[in-house]
Amino acid sequence: MSTPLSKSVINDALSESLHGWSFEEDALVKTFILEHFPAALAFIVRLGVECEKMDHHPHLTNVWNKVTIRLNTHDAGNKVTQKDIDLAKVVQHFSWVE
């Protein structure tokens, strides 16, 4: 079972390395605005590959060129864990987003 992180650890991660992410209702959340729908789909596919590597399965929504990601960990009672921060950092390094 994963260990939930304290709000101070989450806030430190948000201010240090997770530009544009927020902490909402026990999840890390960010909306990405891409050029168009095919770019949003490509983003989701790339994210899916990274999620599988990390054995993490976030909540995703997509409307045309917008993709919203909500990260929390199911086996930690749907709280934010280091696994969520690690995945958010990976997404931050997608070179063709933002």
| pLDDT value, residue 94 | 82
Domains of the chain: 7-92 (3.30.1360.20)
DSSP, res 76: G
Q: pLDDT by residue (tens digit) across 15-72?
A: 998 999 999 999 999 999 999 999 999 999 999 999 999 999 999 999 999 999 999 9
Structural tokens at position 12: 């430190």
pLDDT at 93: 85
Does residue 95 register a pLDDT over 70? no
Closest CA to 29 of 77, 85, 98: 85
Task: Compute CA 45 distance to the chain's CA centroid, rounded to the nearest angstrom.
Answer: 14
Is the Cβ–Cβ distance between 27 and 60 less than 8 Å?
no
